Amino acid sequence: MRILVFSDIPPYVLGGAEVQAARLAKAWQAQGHEILVVGHRTPSGRTDGLRTRRLKVLYPLGRGVRALTLFLSIGRLMTGFGRHYDVAYCRFLGETALSLAMLKALSLCRIPVVASPAAAGRSGNADLALLRALPGSAYLIRLINRHCDAVNLISPEIKSDLHALGVWPRILSEIPNGVVLESGLCVGPDSRPTRLVFVGRLVDQKGVDILLEALARVRGHGRMLHLDLLGDGRNVTALRDRVEELYLDREVTFHGAVDHGRVQQALSQAHLFVLPSRYEGLSNAALEALAVGLPCVLTRCGGVDAYVDVDTGWVCEPDDVDGLVAALSQALEMDRHQWDRRSRRSRGLVEQHFELSGCARRHIDLFQSLLPGGS
């Protein structure tokens, strides 16, 4: 199968959706499919073993010109060699998916289009915020419903957000993000957990400010612990200041942006993974933590938390310091036997639902069902 993947990919864009697009593209390529990744920030050539092509888009002249040049660039591609591909996969349900839907309405694109929206939660879903804000949004939503052949939901919570906006595509599939199952597992604590790790951007969405408040209160209960923060973002200065105000200098270490190897090393050495997000799609970082058998403390925000039960990890409400304190306190009281049991269940959760090659094959099954003669 020949697949056009519409997404920028690392290292040119480092968001979780783009990381997942690159993982899927490489998995499809390894399974014998022909892949071309198309984006407006990723240069033409080869990136990490993938063929890439850059869309020519004008940025400085405003959003309208950017959208028009994006549409024209995609139009040139789809009326040229792009028509020889079998399916177009869009990471995001935004301007690229809208451009392809409009081209299909004009009979300038004849291949199936599959889109995958971003985060759950109406306040956090940039795709849906964009659709609401665009002029003629009602017409654009009808365009998606008619000409976007399938929409894949990476987490079930996104469905209600789509339906509330009036997005009812012909096919809704639910294939989650995938992660490579590494051979190594985390070591675990000698007795009770003491080492926590967070991986992600240091921005409002991730709720690290709430985590620091909770950490200060848990430490006040007499627990010895340490939090490693891996990632960077616009809130890093404010978070550093808050660490000083809460006298957490010895308990919190900022590592900045690190490569995948450093992330895996940190996960393997930690005892608990903490993700206090206000909203999520399906966190790659949480999946990587679960994949090495690291028990997780998560917020209920429409992502991995939908799969975590009381025998695997802990889930509390977003923006709830009391709830996060309670979850952390329970997690930190585990003995080694309890930790081992949760570690095995965490790894098993990924093996059952999120193993990358299996998720990639499920996408291929969806794509094939959209082709002429597909079932």
Task: Report d(CA 43, CA 60) in Å as an integer.
Answer: 19
Which residues lie below 8 Å from residue 248, measured CB to CB, with a gap of 6+?
212, 215, 216, 219, 227
| Per-residue confidence (pLDDT) for residue 125, from 0 to 100 | 62
Domains of the chain: 2-178+355-370 (3.40.50.2000), 195-353 (3.40.50.2000)
User: What confidence score (pLDDT) does residue 122 get?
Assistant: 45
- In angstroms, the CA 364 to CA 341 distance is 34
- Looking at residue 25, its amino acid is A
Q: pTM (2 decimals)?
A: 0.90
Given a cut of 70, whether residue 199 has pLDDT beyond it is yes
Q: Which two tokens stand for residue 287?
A: 């999946």
Residue 120, Cβ density class (10 Å: 0-12 exposed, 13-18 middle, ≥19 buried): buried
Nearest Cα to Cα of residue 277 among 169, 201, 222, 349? 201
- Percent of the chain predicted with pLDDT > 70: 98
| pLDDT score recorded for residue 312 | 94
> What's the average model confidence in pLDDT over 38-59?
94
What is the mean predicted confidence (pLDDT) over 175-184?
89
pLDDT confidence of residue 302: 73
Instruction: Considering only residues 52 and 132, tell me which one the structure prediction assigns the higher pLDDT.
Output: 52
Could you read off the pLDDT of 2-15 as tens digits, one per residue? Answer: 999 999 999 998 88
3-12, 104-113, 213-222, 246-255: least confident range: 213-222
Per-residue pLDDT at 244 exceeds 70? yes
